[in-house]
Structure 1
């Protein structure tokens, strides 16, 4: 009987650490945490955005040679998997207008990707909201 080594396995919190600042950001924007400084909201939004765009474990989604989507593990919405060509393909999708439709389709393929996309949009909007006075926020 073989035993598994836990030293190379990441814990759940280590994989999904970005949901902690995201939850705090939502709570601060909703007014559940009283008197939060705009700098703190901006920091929470930056951490959350970084996690969703570059750190959340998702599928790669790059197009394989046979026309199917790659199902290898990747980190974040904008990075590809371990294959160098897939990383370049995802970079090209960001800058070529004709490929934005393919990139957008890849952002909504699975619930995990959809959650990362919505989280990134909310975190970016939260960063903007740090400088806009919201009516329910205390002054």
Structure 2
């Protein structure tokens, strides 16, 4: 007995829908998970070298992406998609595993992004989107 565990295959999308009005990509996976990924989150966490660098510590903080739109979504083989963003960013290839990670870890990634913006002296027009606030905490008057 080797003691090694075989991992289950990564979930695969069964549906991808671009919602232009709400600026979200809806991704439904074969394990039943469904995520509504904000375009802004996808853009600021693009897996491209332009954004994530070529190694740890080389990430480039993305600012001014709150109103970014997705003007296209191109398939990349049978393992990924390449969004075309309205700010001209076209080099990120989002694998199925990365899209799943964005959906699963969205709240933590938003927090990290907002903290990095704050530390750099930047902000997002009026804080978080209402959809994100409603997801994580009650809306207060």
Q: Which structure is richer in relative contact order (CA contacts within 8 A, separation 6 or more)?
A: 1
The structure that is helix-richer by fraction is 1
The structure that is strand-richer by fraction is 2
Common fold by TM > 0.5: no
Instruction: Report which of the two structures shows the higher radius of gyration computed on alpha carbons.
Output: 1
TM-score for the superposition, normalised by structure 1: 0.29
